[in-house]
Chains A and B, each alone.
Chain A
Amino acid sequence: MEQEHINPARPRKVVLAPLDPVHDVGLKLIRRKLVDKGHNVTLLPPDLSPEEIVSRAKSEDPDFVMISRALSYGTSELLARFVDLCDAAGLRERAKLVAGGLSMKPEIAQELGFDAGFGPDTPVEVAVAYVEGEDVDLSNGSRQQTKVDLTAGFTYKFLDSEIGSLCTGIARQLICWANKRTSPGVERAHLRTAMEAERGCSPGYGQKLRSQYASLSSGEVKQWYCTGKPVSHTRPITQKEAGEIQSLSRKAGSPAFPRSQDILNDRNVFVQYGTGCPVMDAYHIYLSTAWGAKGVIHFDPSWGARNEGLLEQAWSHEHDGTVLTLDNLGLIKNGLIPGTMWQVRAHRGLNTPETVVLAHLAGADLTKINIVYGSLGAGTDPERLAVDGVEAMKLAARYNLPYDVVTNEELCGVPAAKAFAGMLVVVTAGVLLGGRPLLQPLFANSPEGMITGFTEHNFVDFNVAKMKVLFSIIDAPIWPGAPVGFLTQTQDRSQSSVMTALHAALALDCGAAAVTIASSDEAYAGGPITAPSRIDTLKATGAALRFFGNGGISPTPKAEAIAHELREAIAAVLRQIAARGDFVSSLYEGLLGDREDGAYPGRSGKGTVSLKQ
């Protein structure tokens, strides 16, 4: 019958029995945990016959009988016979029967007739929780996944007053400058909000708004709005595809979705998706979550950065990046396991404010806004992205949507000090606008690391130094990446997985609120990322976290020295910008990264900013 509500404080009587001459290590571990929690545990000696176990268990009148046995075709019959004996002997009138061991899983436990089954990947705590009557979801051996607020508990106060005051001054100037300006990106964000509000209200909804929208678009997107001709390499999603996602969403929504590893349960590990096809994405998301991913990040096609405007309706794309439309997001959202965190981001370009609108309308948990990287490392005009970025931050604040601010310009060669100065200014502006930004420093072997020799002897010191310096400057959440381990992964999947896993473990050890990991295909450019490659790095990250546990990772004293050096360099950059008196000009003039560093102010959207009427 229904498992009664058990008072965890009440000691339970548990009989543990190895139905195996050698396999009782797991039971001894469970015994220790149960005894520590005050339960009354009897561990029977190994190698008793099923009849002897039943007889001895019966004399104990236990609440639980837990059996361990490595499973094979022959031994499963033995376990089934044991279950029958317990049943007929009346043991089950009171006791729950639990099976554990290699190859054991809930489906096999059910087939054999046990009340629960735990495999080798099940944490001992789950078995203990089961005994204590906590509502463990036995179908996946773990608790329900729940979303967390990555920004909770952070005050956003500057701990470094000099840097704080410099950032605040510069950020105020940026906001003030942007407030006077507008752009097609800003206009479209407002149009999109109005268009979506009208959707479904009347036939031919928002025709006027749509033609206005089209006039603010460019390239193939504009062509689609005007003529209906699809963007290259895209085609509408078919009924069959939508149906497939729908049927997958039923499985994903079911509490019984099988989980492979639980070690990532309380770690916020994100993976990116964006195969181009929402159906494939839905499967990749589903399996990534099954292997422990706590959150997923939407990647759109790279042309999304260069074209003014976003499409409508549901589309499949033959190349990397899944087209960013509200309909596509709606389909993908359907397939998310409840409790999965979801970041919707745009490709660092001309559609930043509208992406925030779509993220909000689609019900995403997070978005991404990057002014400096987008303008110095990703081809968008700095003035344009400054105007759009500030508007996007205002919208995110209005929607109470946290967002990350990334420093991927480090990948171009921009030194961390300059990149961090830019990130800190943008984050400060975000906070001043009422938002909840997350710092996203590159956590990798950056070109700077290679050139300066910071990463010559290890990858730990430089990355730890970055985290240290940021935590010493501001009380804000850090979500490094993205993804972690850039430029350390090779096409070898073992090497790639190990590098990703160690970077993730190090970042979390340093206090990161979350990490984004790549697949083991990170360095392979010959084709789309495959499902097993996603699992590779999730498994590896789980293993690395298990290995380090709470043991901690110690950097050498060099980390402290680098952190100190970085702090001074960040302050120096900020002083220069403050002296220049104009953030956007500083971007053009190379104060946050120049040609020598590998940064080039982008041209996409140049000349599109206008002063507000």
Chain B
Amino acid sequence: MKVVGIAGTAKNTGKTTTLLEAIRFFDERRKKLFITGIGYDGEDFDNLTGLPKPRVFVPEGAVVASALPLLQSSPARFDDLKDTGVRCALGRIFLGRVTSPGRVVLAGPASTRDLASVAALAPEDSIVLLDGAFSRISPMVVADSLILATGAARSRDSHRIAREINAIDTIMRLPVMKDVCTGGNKVIGDGVLNVSGGLFLPGQGQELAWRLNGTRKPRTVYVAGIINPLVLLEALNEMGLNRSGGPGHVASVSFIFDHPIMLLLSGDVLQWERVFHILYEAGLKTGVLGSMALLGATVNPYIPLRSGAGKYIATYVPPESFLGDITNLTRVPCTDIILEGPGKLQSWLKRFLD
């Protein structure tokens, strides 16, 4: 079983379009598909803006996990309906195998725990496609690989978008610490400082620095949970690392984080540029326990804009220049599916299959 997630950096960044092309790609290759989503996707009109949306179309043979009432009211037909034992805001989530293709609204498990238990029901030889929601990314830890959907709805500033993609890519490429010994949500070993509950509140960075400067000089800091870059920066500042050639004893400290996703949940992702720069300058090693591959980023020029009358209207930034700027500024492969066709996305998915 291989799991690919489609995560957005904001609402209206083109997740559904990317999902539809991914479904088509796997279906054409006759792969066993297992489709679910962590939000609510496939409706005719956006719940918030009221603007038309792409619809999710499921092919024959695919297994879909969604709230039962939505499967029942779908024009697609399902058999083998099975209760997953998981409930969402719209009712019980059921699995159904598509016997007659059609449109469906995907409303699946919202939490990591529930998503993991639903994904575990997928047949061993299937491809699991996870449809994201808004900028939500935390349940994506279940995925092996990620496609990022971003675009003008996140920011019209193509430079900012490119920087964000690069920062996310840097995080995804953090080395995996395979040789550390873990147990009970801790890293086991001498000289390890285990920080449980994450680092995401102001003041926690300072506290970490004090502990690092204490009598016992840990060689490894393991942070279990969410990390906010500014809080880590606060720690590094307190340790004097923002100045060149800071205290010598920390030169040997390594930072280990749970999973790349944990670095993307709190604070501005661009702040990681500074954090990694300081860590790099200080020669401090950083790594993660879990890993995830970033396959590429789809870029959508669409922006729902609120008019003076309080209604939303669909607007677009110039697609060619927007995509061109982003592509030039990032090392991550990018595409606008509508502008360029699905070719590039397909090449990433081929890589994923290999």
Contacts and interface: CB of A to CB of B under 8 A. Distances in A.
B114 interface: yes
B43 A2 contact: no
B184 to A, nearest CB: 14
B88 A2 contact: no
A298 to B, nearest CB: 26
Given A85-B266, A88-B265, A3 B87 contact: yes
B40 interface: yes
A137 B69 CA distance: 11
B73 A138 contact: no
A105 B201 CA distance: 31
B243 interface: no
A250 interface: yes
A273 interface: no
A73 B49 contact: yes
B90 A139 contact: yes
Interface in A1-54: 1-3, 51-52, 54
Interface string A454-467: 00000000000000
Contacts of B39: 110-113
A76 B89 contact: no
A515 interface: no
Nearest to A98: B89
Interface string A83-108: 11101111011000100000101111
B111 A85 contact: no
A55 B228 CA distance: 13
A77 B201 contact: no
A71 B306 CA distance: 14
Interface stretch (B133-141, B213-221, B273-281, B331-339): B133-141
Nearest to A112: B134
A115 B86 CA distance: 11
B252 interface: no
Contact of A110 (B89, B261, B262): B89
A254 B49 contact: no
Contacts of B261: 88
A88 B201 contact: no
A115 B108 CA distance: 11
Contacts of B232: none
Contact of A51 (B43, B138, B201, B262): B201
B48 A76 contact: yes
A559 interface: no
Given A51-B228, A90-B225, A115-B88, A110 B112 contact: no
A89 B200 CA distance: 10
Given A77-B135, A111-B47, A51 B266 contact: yes
B40 A111 contact: yes
Contacts of A518: none
A115 B110 contact: yes
Contacts of B70: 256
B198 A84 contact: no
B265 to A, nearest CB: 5
A58 B198 CA distance: 12
A58 B200 CA distance: 13
B3 interface: no
A254 B72 contact: yes
A87 B40 CA distance: 17
A251 interface: yes
Contact of A76 (B134, B137, B225): B134
A109 interface: yes
Contacts of A1: 85-87, 113-114, 117
Interface residues of A, number: 47
Interface residues of B, number: 51
B91 interface: yes
Given A89-B225, A110-B39, A138-B89, A81 B133 contact: no
A462 to B, nearest CB: 46
A116 B110 contact: no
Nearest to B93: A2
Interface in B1-50: 10-11, 38-41, 43, 47-49
B183 interface: no
A111 B136 CA distance: 10
A114 interface: yes
A4 to B, nearest CB: 11
B67 interface: yes
A255 interface: yes
Given A85-B265, A88-B225, A106 B112 contact: no
A255 B91 contact: yes
Nearest to A52: B201
Nearest to A99: B89
Nearest to B305: A73
A104 to B, nearest CB: 10
Contacts of B41: 111
Contacts of B135: 77, 80-81, 84
Contacts of B167: none
A348 B329 CA distance: 79
Nearest to A85: B265
Interface string B116-142: 010000000000000001111111000
A5 B88 CA distance: 16
A114 B110 contact: yes
Contacts of B90: 106-107, 110, 138-139, 256
B101 interface: no
Nearest to B108: A110
A73 B304 contact: yes
B110 to A, nearest CB: 4
A278 interface: no
Given A80-B133, A89-B226, A109 B201 contact: no
A73 B225 contact: no
B267 to A, nearest CB: 9
Contacts of A92: 111-113
Contact of B38 (A89, A93, A113, A116): A113
B295 interface: no
B47 A107 contact: yes
Contacts of A254: 69, 72-73
A437 interface: no
Contact of A87 (B107, B138, B228): B138
B187 to A, nearest CB: 17
B113 A113 contact: no
A106 B89 contact: yes
A88 B262 contact: yes
B91 A88 contact: no
A2 B47 CA distance: 26
A2 B91 CA distance: 10
Contacts of A447: none
Interface of B: 10-11, 38-41, 43, 47-49, 67, 69-70, 72-73, 85-92, 107, 110-114, 117, 133-139, 197-198, 200-201, 225-226, 228, 261-262, 265-266, 304, 306, 312
23 contacts: A1-B117, A51-B228, A54-B200, A71-B48, A76-B48, A76-B134, A77-B11, A80-B133, A80-B134, A81-B265, A84-B137, A84-B265, A85-B226, A85-B266, A88-B262, A89-B198, A103-B48, A111-B133, A112-B133, A113-B139, A137-B91, A255-B69, A256-B67
Given A1-B87, A83-B110, 16 more contacts: A3-B87, A76-B11, A84-B135, A84-B136, A85-B226, A88-B112, A88-B225, A88-B261, A92-B111, A105-B47, A107-B90, A112-B133, A113-B139, A250-B72, A256-B67, A256-B70
Shortest beta-carbon contacts, A-B, top 5: A256-B69, A80-B134, A111-B40, A113-B110, A84-B138
